[in-house]
Structure 1
């Protein structure tokens, strides 16, 4: 673009092509503190969902933290005081397991485990923090929150206390998701579903011991009758307490043509079950499910044990036999049936997922998901109650940390009664804005299905549930939690394990003897940990925004909502923004074995071999985040990053052109009033105003991809391809201080300032770098300390668009007719019928013929002639005709004008200075250049 041709133009170093951290010069480290001290009534609060402190920072972190930083910087530049306190989720099983994996000892005390887990978390936090700072994340990094902080833990227990007092916290013995691989209960948010899990499904006979009274007349004359049930979890059969049926469905008594045996199954399942058992069934009679009432079966593996037939609405006809084996200790729906009919809920499985002594010597100590399952199948086979076994591929819950299958197992746990809380939570959620809106529906549906929240975990690294148990009866006692909160404020949650019980349990203890009690050993679910962060961090205010990945719809978004609604009857946030997950550039999951894991540190600094893993710099990482459609899955890989680098390089070239042509220009003293500027310069300001309005709106809607698209369209199409190509002659060839050149520089200064501010939240390093190279920069100038884009409504001027766009329509016709040729080698004759279009062109060119008019500059020819009719002597063979519609004052003035464009060879010679064909001799400059050079 020839910058450096103008006297005094700064030579911008090539280092501008290399991303170098600019923290000391840009003052990024002080920026958050600076903006917090500003006096303004507007505040924007983004509450940081705490990343988990169990590993290195990854691209998922980058996506999340950079989206938050773009949001914060945008609001800061718009004169909001930003409230943003970064934090970390520090407790929980993954950290405990990683800490223990680094330790050779097996038998550690609770305090030894806790100390090692804390040390591990602290190391991870420092590594992640340094990565976040390198990405340009604006925050007070000396004042973060951690869920293991004493004050945080105390506030968390305060919320627990409030919820307990309001009746939302209770203890119960019921089935929960249990992880044998980690020996603890899990919440639904801690599960992931393996769609390819293979179970050993079985079809089992339950001998009918006592026929239902309503069926006795049909069954009495028959030999033995068996009910058929189907299950994918054979290991739960020893815990069977009943067989359930659907009351309103139809059932059939059938005879097997192969064996002569009689069975009962749902009428809808007769054909499919017979085909699966490789036989045929003859239907003897049919009846309604209600006729099963008061029937009784024999247990298929335990002689003498009976299983009643009971009605249940969870029985379906979509698969199986329409009769469901019911083990209350191992199924949520089964538990509901057992509660209603007062059935036993004995659990025969221990914390490690092995059968207990109560299961019998054949099963004791066998893992239920392995040899225990095999043993039960063999017992069914031995009792001649196994009809068929087959492999069944289906979705099955796994522990999201160990990636191993879980079981459902009854145990005594602490719960939050979400059944009584969810209605209020849903109403509070409906007042919240969600981007995208689909996230709201998903979260409402999740809440609808949630009847309880298991908040107890059988681990050591966490905040203790402040409960004491009677040594003899095991009855729980929650007494004087306020005293425990004070202890935690002083000693942290370690005090629960290190201090004597006398210091924890109030002496009155409802007249109970302290010596009769021991502290509970369970800790609170980490979703309760992080879900109470609003109470500690927000200090009474409601966050304007929570911004996290879509997994938090069932996690942090939900736990924060439930704890807040329970204690302060409102949501802790006004808006939710939900982004997708990061994937490889072909849409595949990232995996070390595949080799497609993208490390943000390598993206910024490069890998061991820069030829294959080049250093891209932090702003390319940020550009990738902003340009992605973050509301779906976000792809990243070498091709994506190379494309981002090319896009930024194009932007940098535009910025270099702007900076180079603003040399020796000071907006304060050299600017031209808008009304005196060239119309093409006014027009670019008009476009700039529209650009700024659209960009601001896109930021408000969290649509940063749209910001990037608007930026790219503006700087490549409106500037580089259009405006710059038109004004280069005026910039390079007019006298340095000529008002015509100053007019263009006035526009360029506005364009540069507005454009840099528009991308500053996304590319903060580049924005500050540009400001450092401003020729008229003051020492204190910072793009982030001087506000948002400041465009003027004056730039939108009636008739301006029509004048320039009318000229451009004729220009396009001219350039289209000489495609691939030099426009300066031609002169153009424009013939326009008298009317509005002609009057507008006269504003751009007062005289009939000119090589220096505004109209000729737009046409980019060596000379332009403006006429109302075609001269008689001119050949009309190659005339280009067209029309242009002028629409003024909202449609009140509409006029369609015709025009003709005639392209002629130039009549003069090439000027060696400006390269236009306007000179009388090849030895001397043209008239315009001679005037400029006069005396030089």
Structure 2
């Protein structure tokens, strides 16, 4: 009785929740089972066998793949999908804010990784019923574009005005954005392509200026003379995010003597009347020595006075560094005395190049004994820490290096006009030698900051720049980040660490292609003019004409009339427009204010590469927190970079760069670079572990294509076997379906839930793994091989066959929707081939996976899996042989397991029962006691099966015996089972089915 309630209509509601054996899922091998089917082209019964019929191709070869995709994009309205879904009356909105790619070249494989990930997320949320807000954008200003334009013009570039440079840069950026846009649409990216945002849009620029002023008014933006990273090759200041570190950089490091001119009162007696005493310093940047203003020490550290064995000179250095420095200088030091750093207070040294200059000895917290001598040469114009020492002690911060990285006249006649990183370094070292203050020079290979675009070294130099005071924003920003979900979770700490390492954010650049910093500078005094009147006036002008006005209009038109008359009028105007532009990270970092919808202006998701933890994620957060004290995003997802097949960096010079256009459309030699189409690219993205680095190359692409072809095979089987089936009239109610078919619906619901959860977590790799496991293990290897006989050999409208087709309809629908966000072209192609669709519908316009709660019947697992345990015993005993050549006797003692098997086979012996179908034998006999007789060639197999129902309330372990014997009947010429009385006669089932044909 317990068994009969497993799936029957009388099953009481609580029993629907029966739990099967604790989640075991067998890998149902079909070893030994024959997949052979009647050859449709042989024998007189070929027309009576219902073989699959579909025009859906098993493979798309060569150019067929990209051509079919283009056709599908056209036919299924890919370009109208975004506007269609925006017009739906739905309650929820999903907003993914597109971080703007840089408009300076063709679309590359990194773009593919990023845009496809975003598209998969968007398509899933759209199918789930949300309205998608996804406005693509481009970062169009900045140095890389300007450099590219100027390098293309060669010598002509020298004579161009700022307006001409801007004109050329704008058309270059426009063309690059258009090229990228056509690549993105070809990959099937669904977006608001008619309303993209560009950082050179008039309204965008005006918005940005508004935020700049809001921050300025709050005291978060200020102008100061500070050391910043400076790129001589680009002639502009750079922010930390625009640097890359070259670990192979070679510096000429030097050990230098600073003669003590006045020892501190505590130190004087210790020096024992030594005539020449010098403090020792070590630096990797000798070119900064002319700008030296002090030597810094540690207050609490121990220092030593030592005598050099080679020269007899007396030096001062950290006690912990005596041995290592003596070894580096290839000498020995004799320690005369030791003292605390605090004892150096009020001492002074002579500058090692300019003897008339004094360098005081000063305490500083940044000095360590990790490298060097424990005493640090301090040049306030060329170091961030040096600058803070200078601020505390009112030292000069004059910079002796100009925008081109060349010494100015202030550095003296020997150094002026010499490049600091080249000849200038050489001359400084010669000057130290001449002054007898150079102890040693050696080459040092170390990590050094380079300009990310020109790939040339930068220097640190002080200049007048605009800064964002991030110290005031950081505490709130960090607090708000705690409420943001990070994928992976470790990205949060990485972002906070990067923010902590950033002392200030330099937002001014000395170039022409960008949004001007809207201030006026006094001609003679160190004053700036900016207020609400000037800003509102400029914003209006920019909204109407764009930011070119800063370079094209005279100052009297850039200033509002009342302000213009207050600052000197036409005859004695005291102000000129400043020439700095805003950092492009400020440009893109304000995109939230221009693009995000509603009053809240917060995106559900920001999704970019890991470099943006120090870039766009951070500049967006800082500007948003500064302007309105909230984060612009609820979730941040971070992906890795794309690498070559062996994990090596991709570059054109190495010849391993993968061009996504060649992946999609093929190269010149298609035998080496075949056209894979966009779906292969999308599958590669989805199945990769995108949270780490992602490798791509021919083997990854071939594997992706093979995976899709296997999936196509499954889909073709489903479509082919639904030919002639109309779900509206031919479906079988779930309760009346074959147990195996009901069991597949039960598994299908579990599969659908896991798929949905994986999409929800943005774990697209898991979606792919679940899908592959389901269509290979549950479908191809198990279900399809079992039901082929029923589908092909029963009569067309037999309820047994219709039961299977009812399940196939649901399986097809769930499978296609489960991969649709990843493979939109294939999903729509399948929908074009559904035989019972009156007119093809779009998978994306018909919602997400739909399953029914009545499919969930965990008790069915007991029925099917107990039969499968016996089936596995049988098939395991005939490896490589055709299961249909055998008959099986199953012996089970009376009890629950026997009752369950009886539900699958009501007669004692059958060749058409549900149990026999699962066994795939020619016939199965079910007995509750040992048979009276058996043949000599029989094989006996034994096993046990634990039935576990109602959460363990019903537990019964039963033993079973499977007796395998060769079939005694002849092979039926129609179904090929050994169930016919003679070789030229049909078996009873086939005789009945074919009788009327």
Q: TM-score range by the shorter chain?
A: over 0.9
Shift of 1:222: 1.9
Once residues 248 and 685 of structure 1 are traced to their aligned partners in structure 2, the CA distance between those partners, rounded to angstroms, is 75
Once residues 23 and 92 of structure 1 are traced to their aligned partners in structure 2, the CA distance between those partners, rounded to angstroms, is 35
Unaligned residue ranges in structure 2 (runs of 5+): 1-34, 41-48
**For residue 53 of structure 1, what is the aligned residue in structure 2?**
103
Indicate which of 944, 955, 979 corresponds to 1:918. 979
Change (3 A) 1:752 1:312: same
**For residue 699 of structure 1, what is the aligned residue in structure 2?**
759
Once residues 411 and 561 of structure 2 are traced to their aligned partners in structure 1, the CA distance between those partners, rounded to angstroms, is 42
**For residue 592 of structure 2, what is the aligned residue in structure 1?**
534
Q: Deviations over 1:769-809 (max 9, x none)?
A: 00000001232511000000001121111420010001111
**For residue 3 of structure 2, what is the aligned residue in structure 1?**
none
- Residue 419 of structure 1 aligns to a residue whose secondary structure is coil
Indicate which of 818, 821, 843 corresponds to 1:783. 843
**For residue 238 of structure 1, what is the aligned residue in structure 2?**
290
Shift of 1:507: 3.6
Indicate which of 254, 257, 277 corresponds to 1:225. 277
What does residue range 14-93 of structure 1 map to in structure 2 within 5 Å? 16=60, 18-19=64-65, 20=68, 21=70, 22-93=72-143
User: Is 1:713 paired with 2:713?
Assistant: no
**For residue 299 of structure 1, what is the aligned residue in structure 2?**
351
Contact kept in structure 1, 2:651 and 2:657, CA below 8 Å: yes
Q: Deviations over 1:303-330 (max 9, x none)?
A: 2101000011111111111000000000
Once residues 991 and 950 of structure 2 are traced to their aligned partners in structure 1, the CA distance between those partners, rounded to angstroms, is 44
Shift of 1:883: 1.2
Shift of 1:506: 2.7
Once residues 655 and 502 of structure 2 are traced to their aligned partners in structure 1, the CA distance between those partners, rounded to angstroms, is 39
Q: Deviations over 1:588-617 (max 9, x none)?
A: 001222211100000000000000000000
Once residues 491 and 799 of structure 1 are traced to their aligned partners in structure 2, the CA distance between those partners, rounded to angstroms, is 71
Contact kept in structure 1, 2:51 and 2:792, CA below 8 Å: no
Once residues 359 and 561 of structure 2 are traced to their aligned partners in structure 1, the CA distance between those partners, rounded to angstroms, is 49
Once residues 871 and 174 of structure 1 are traced to their aligned partners in structure 2, the CA distance between those partners, rounded to angstroms, is 98
Q: TM-score, normalised by structure 2?
A: 0.93
Shift of 1:275: 0.7
**For residue 518 of structure 1, what is the aligned residue in structure 2?**
576
Q: Which has the higher contact order (CA 8 A, sep 6+)?
A: 2
- Residue 808 of structure 2 aligns to a residue whose secondary structure is helix
User: Is 1:353 paired with 2:405?
Assistant: yes
User: Is 1:481 paired with 2:535?
Assistant: yes
Indicate which of 942, 967, 970 corresponds to 1:906. 967
More displaced 10-residue stretch of structure 1: 835-844 or 487-496: 835-844
Once residues 987 and 755 of structure 2 are traced to their aligned partners in structure 1, the CA distance between those partners, rounded to angstroms, is 44
Shift of 1:220: 4.2
What does residue range 197-596 of structure 1 map to in structure 2 within 5 Å? 197-479=249-531, 480-509=534-563, 511-514=566-569, 515-539=573-597, 540=599, 541-596=601-656
- Residue 229 of structure 2 aligns to a residue whose secondary structure is strand
Change (3 A) 1:619 1:301: same
Shift of 1:450: 2.0
Shift of 1:15: 7.0
- Residue 399 of structure 2 aligns to a residue whose secondary structure is coil
Shift of 1:837: 1.3
Once residues 560 and 410 of structure 2 are traced to their aligned partners in structure 1, the CA distance between those partners, rounded to angstroms, is 38
- Residue 490 of structure 1 aligns to a residue whose secondary structure is helix
Once residues 801 and 623 of structure 1 are traced to their aligned partners in structure 2, the CA distance between those partners, rounded to angstroms, is 32
More displaced 10-residue stretch of structure 1: 478-487 or 100-109: 100-109
Contact kept in structure 1, 2:687 and 2:765, CA below 8 Å: yes
Indicate which of 870, 879, 882 corresponds to 2:943. 882
**For residue 859 of structure 1, what is the aligned residue in structure 2?**
919
Shift of 1:886: 1.2
User: Is 1:633 paired with 2:707?
Assistant: no
Q: Deviations over 1:339-358 (max 9, x none)?
A: 11111100000000000000
More displaced 10-residue stretch of structure 1: 459-468 or 20-29: 20-29
- Residue 879 of structure 1 aligns to a residue whose secondary structure is strand
**For residue 56 of structure 2, what is the aligned residue in structure 1?**
12
Contact kept in structure 2, 1:419 and 1:450, CA below 8 Å: no
- Residue 339 of structure 2 aligns to a residue whose secondary structure is strand
What does residue range 636-785 of structure 1 map to in structure 2 within 5 Å? 636-779=696-839, 781-785=841-845
Change (3 A) 1:7 1:611: closer
Once residues 113 and 428 of structure 2 are traced to their aligned partners in structure 1, the CA distance between those partners, rounded to angstroms, is 49
Contact kept in structure 2, 1:8 and 1:664, CA below 8 Å: no
Contact kept in structure 1, 2:58 and 2:712, CA below 8 Å: no
User: Is 1:932 paired with 2:986?
Assistant: no
Once residues 869 and 421 of structure 1 are traced to their aligned partners in structure 2, the CA distance between those partners, rounded to angstroms, is 82
Q: Deviations over 1:821-866 (max 9, x none)?
A: 1000001111112222111111111111111000010011001111
Once residues 801 and 273 of structure 1 are traced to their aligned partners in structure 2, the CA distance between those partners, rounded to angstroms, is 76
**For residue 953 of structure 2, what is the aligned residue in structure 1?**
892
User: Is 1:126 paired with 2:212?
Assistant: no
More displaced 10-residue stretch of structure 1: 235-244 or 439-448: 439-448
- Residue 604 of structure 2 aligns to a residue whose secondary structure is coil
**For residue 135 of structure 1, what is the aligned residue in structure 2?**
187
Q: Deviations over 1:344-378 (max 9, x none)?
A: 10000000000000001111011111000111011
More displaced 10-residue stretch of structure 1: 14-23 or 829-838: 14-23
Once residues 214 and 663 of structure 2 are traced to their aligned partners in structure 1, the CA distance between those partners, rounded to angstroms, is 47
Once residues 286 and 844 of structure 1 are traced to their aligned partners in structure 2, the CA distance between those partners, rounded to angstroms, is 95
Output the aligned Cα RMSD.
1.4
Indicate which of 799, 808, 813 corresponds to 2:859. 799
- Residue 194 of structure 2 aligns to a residue whose secondary structure is coil
Indicate which of 622, 627, 635 corresponds to 2:682. 622
More displaced 10-residue stretch of structure 1: 767-776 or 137-146: 137-146
Unaligned residue ranges in structure 1 (runs of 5+): none
What does residue range 798-817 of structure 1 map to in structure 2 within 5 Å? 798-817=858-877
Shift of 1:878: 3.3
Once residues 15 and 900 of structure 1 are traced to their aligned partners in structure 2, the CA distance between those partners, rounded to angstroms, is 44
**For residue 907 of structure 2, what is the aligned residue in structure 1?**
847
- Residue 236 of structure 1 aligns to a residue whose secondary structure is helix
Once residues 510 and 297 of structure 2 are traced to their aligned partners in structure 1, the CA distance between those partners, rounded to angstroms, is 36
Shift of 1:272: 0.6
Shift of 1:896: 1.4
Shift of 1:874: 3.0
- Count of residue pairs brought into register by the alignment: 936
Once residues 289 and 832 of structure 1 are traced to their aligned partners in structure 2, the CA distance between those partners, rounded to angstroms, is 92
Contact kept in structure 2, 1:9 and 1:664, CA below 8 Å: no
Once residues 905 and 52 of structure 2 are traced to their aligned partners in structure 1, the CA distance between those partners, rounded to angstroms, is 32
More displaced 10-residue stretch of structure 1: 729-738 or 498-507: 498-507
Shift of 1:494: 0.6
Shift of 1:14: 6.3
Once residues 248 and 954 of structure 2 are traced to their aligned partners in structure 1, the CA distance between those partners, rounded to angstroms, is 68
Contact kept in structure 2, 1:670 and 1:742, CA below 8 Å: yes
Contact kept in structure 2, 1:534 and 1:560, CA below 8 Å: yes
- Residue 692 of structure 1 aligns to a residue whose secondary structure is helix
Shift of 1:875: 6.4
**For residue 214 of structure 2, what is the aligned residue in structure 1?**
162
Once residues 203 and 291 of structure 2 are traced to their aligned partners in structure 1, the CA distance between those partners, rounded to angstroms, is 45
Shift of 1:16: 4.6
